Structure 1
Amino acid sequence: MIELLDYDFMRRALVAAVFTGLAAPAIGTFLVQRRLALLGDGIGHVALTGVALGLLTGVAPVLTAVVVAVLGAVVIELLRMFGRTSGDVALAILFYGGLAGGVLLTDLADESASVLNNYLFGSITTISDGDLTVVAILAVIVIALAVGLSPQLFALCQDEEHARVSGVPVRVYSILIAVLAAVTITVAMRTVGLLLVSALMVVPVAAAQQLTRSFRATHAAAMAIGLFAALGGVVSSYEIDTQPGPTIVLLALTVFAVAALLATTTRRLRSRRHPVDFARGDI
């Protein structure tokens, strides 16, 4: 396994996996808390239009994807705040619009479908030094803000009305969460792909929730699970010759299954050790 470090592309892939594995659950925790787990899918399809725009204009697709994804995230949040359109409908509109726009612009750029596949399903082993630099910078920003502002963001996610009364700038932080989610998606699109990135933002959080009770513990555990899944997925894909993106997601799902099994087993053991005594009025 050590031999994979002999290859430059694998070293870049592992570094990208570290940043992606930490950043995706860092912001994904807040999306899950706000019941916006599918936001990543919607923004991912919008980012596809950004990738295609980069291919059409000759600008780095990662940069155009960041800009378009951020704009799409802001539009979704503004529609949710002020528009009559419900959040899920607004998400669906951008979901399909982003996908159609990406395919159309790719055709206009005379690029093949295989080029889009690198972004739809990830192509971490082909990431360049320039892409890695952009990924690292954006991931550090996401992680720093998600961790540094976690008390305020948690207050918003837990009870929006209470946060507003407490003086938390709800609208600002709501847009910030959407923007950080958009940036994270563009960070992860070369790792797990735009179609699978939402899984890396949600599944580690769901797994962590099976094992932890406090928000802080869930946040930390989700980032640890995301890091394990990303690194383990890259290494496993090298060993068994599979695509890294799906391998990372399946490994994260495996961790979730194990965590859910452990949580269920633990609850049953506790119930057997401390049975409810109806005669004494324990209920």
Structure 2
Amino acid sequence: MRVERARYAEAALRLGSLRAAAEEVGVSQPTLRQQLELFEEELDTVLLTRSRRGVVGTPAGEELLPWIRQLIAAEDALRDGALGLTGAYQGTVRVGCVPSLASVLLAPVIGRLLSEHPRLRFTVAESTSGAVEDLVADGGLDFGVVTEPSTPPMQRLERRRLFSFPLYACAPSDHPLARRRSLTWSELASWPLVSMRRGTRLWEMLHTHLAEPRVVFEASTAQTLRMMVAHGAGIGVDTLIASGIDDARLVHVPLTGPEPEVEVCLTQRTNSQPSSAALTVRALLLEQAELVYPPRLKERGHGV
């Protein structure tokens, strides 16, 4: 019997909602539903029934709930006891991340890991969202933090949305577009553009909304993109996820219309039980994600 299924059942019985339970335990609703069905088959008992407001426990489910909680508590006690023998979490956690998110998410988490769990080891791989998801699916990474691609996740992966960032057109302060309060994709079509490199979500969005964008430079990092814009290479499409250049020569104008924001997601394998070390790192990442907000910036002529 897999104890994580007991955790899923306890959450669903307690919350009365598969959606809320899935969010709490960090899996998709289809995965939660499938695991609950397998748990009921193991017990040969129906635990939940659907209602207009969500799900409710059957009489058997309500009666077994205390035993389910005892099973979960026993596993937690076993894990804590094992950790107590070593004095700290151990193991290696492999995390993938797109470069623009490393400074706002991974850097603070790494600092906490070094102080709170000095015996835990981790590796970080920076790449495009697609490459990170391929590595997670193949088992090369425990999980990844990506900007959500337009295509659905592959069958053995699931994504959990963390937060979103608005899109901006980045222009030199003396450029005609810098005086605008907002811009649409089509208004960028006639200008030379600085894009993030092929394979990134921003590259994909730019080429989706403009049939033939006049891209003069593809940058590997947001810092390079902004530097090229500051020197007059073209207009950039930027998110401000990564800061690092506070250049008075630049103005960021909000982009409006289709897809005005970029979604940031945690991607992980379905139907797999992460190690205790991986769960620790994931919990810290989720905690850090709740603290992240788009940077406030000064926009010429129209405040923040």
Q: More relative contact order in 1 or in 2 (CA 8 Å, sep 6+)?
A: 1
Structure with the largest fraction of strand = 2
Please classify the TM superposition score into its range, dividing by the shorter chain length.
Answer: under 0.3
TM-score, with normalisation over the residues of structure 2? Answer: 0.24
TM-score, with normalisation over the residues of structure 1? Answer: 0.25
The structure with the largest alpha-carbon Rg is: 2
